[in-house]
Amino acid sequence: MTLTHANHVFRALADPTRRAIFEELTRQGEQTVHGLTRYAGVSQPAVSKHLTVLKRAKLVRHRREGRETHYRAQPDALAPMVDWLDHYGAFWRDRFDRLEALLERMD
Amino acid sequence: MSNPAETPRTLVVERVFPHPPEKLWRALTESPLLAQWMMNNDFEPTIGRKFQFRTDPKPNWNGVVDCEVLTVDPIQRLSYNWGIGGSEAGLQWVVEWTLTPAEGGTHVRMEQSGFSPEQRGNYYGANYGWQKMFDALDRVIGEVD
């Protein structure tokens, strides 16, 4: 993963409203801005702004159909997060082992 | 904290060590000891202290972790920021250590959360299923004793 991409993903998902929008798209499949606005409980411009951030993180994709834009989730974009968990999970396990060894050596 | 099912989770690693809390605290806060199991560092247990962990450079990472001490609660709690890749484009975490006396030793809990303290208000206020994204964690944690 590149740091910049990972950073976009983490930033995008740090916001509870964006997280809710992303999860709604994951659960319900493709939706329009109108549909998402009804769900999110914030204004349509606010939803559009959140969608822009999610798009930059590649967490959602869009397609136009007539006057409506449809959005759908791209769960594959969560890969940096999974990488992070794998990486740090292994990292801390290893450090705990080393801590245990150090404690044995300490008097 | 509230019901764990509703509380967004972060990366948590826990273990009981057959050693007293005082000894764990030394291993966590004395720079030369810390270097023996974590990384080379210029840590000092003082709130606001900026320090670095340094290791060999890796692809996509220069091997430097930029930190700042947030909490020093002797023999109980220690936390610091954990930043990689510089403050602008980089990633920021908080690493928090909690020591609790346990039968035959000390329960050590390490929590690495992906949000800076000012973001935590939102974070803990949210009831959304952040947890779902961390499901992979159960696998990771499951391997820890």
Q: Are B119 and B99 in contact (CB under 8 A)?
A: no
Contact call for A96 and B128, based on CB within 8 A: no
Chain A contact set for B83 (CB, 8 A): none
**Which phi and psi angles does B134 have, rounded to 5°?**
-100, 15
Smallest Cβ–Cβ distance between A6 and the set B38, B91, B108 belongs to B91
**Which phi and psi angles does A37 have, rounded to 5°?**
-65, -40
CATH of the domain at B78: 3.30.530.20
pLDDT one-digit tens code per residue, A10-34: 778 878 888 889 888 988 889 999 9
Query: Residue B49's domain spans which residues?
Result: 11-132
Query: Residue A37's domain spans which residues?
Result: 3-105
Cα–Cα distance for residue pair B8/B128, rounded to 1 Å = 8
Q: Are B61 and A1 in contact (CB under 8 A)?
A: no
Q: B110 and chain A: CB distance < 8 Å anywhere?
A: yes
Q: Does B3 reside within a domain?
A: no
Contact call for A3 and B144, based on CB within 8 A: no
Q: Does B38 reside within a domain?
A: yes
Complex ipTM: 0.71
Q: B51 and chain A: CB distance < 8 Å anywhere?
A: no
Ramachandran region of residue B95, left (φ > 0), alpha (ψ -120 to 50) or beta? beta
Identify the band that residue B129 occupies on the pLDDT scale cut at 50, 70 and 90: very low
pLDDT one-digit tens code per residue, B36-86: 999 999 999 999 999 999 988 877 678 889 999 999 999 999 999 988 776
Q: Considering its fold, how many domains does chain B have in total?
A: 1
Cα–Cα distance for residue pair B53/B39, rounded to 1 Å = 6
Listing DSSP states for B73-137 in one string gives ETTTEEEEEEEES-TTTSEEEEEEEEEEEETTEEEEEEEEESS-GGGHHHHHH--S-HHHHTHHH
Strand order in the sheet with B50-54: B11-17, B105-113, B91-102, B77-84, B64-73, B50-54, B40-41
3-state helix, strand, coil in chain B (%, to 5): 25, 40, 35
Identify the band that residue A45 occupies on the pLDDT scale cut at 50, 70 and 90: very high
CA distance A16 to chain B (A): 6
Question: Which of B6, B7, B10, B13 should we substitute to test contact with A (largest number of A Cβ atoms within 10 Å)?
Answer: B13
Smallest Cβ–Cβ distance between A102 and the set B15, B27, B141 belongs to B27
Q: Considering its fold, how many domains does chain A have in total?
A: 1
CATH of the domain at A53: 1.10.10.10
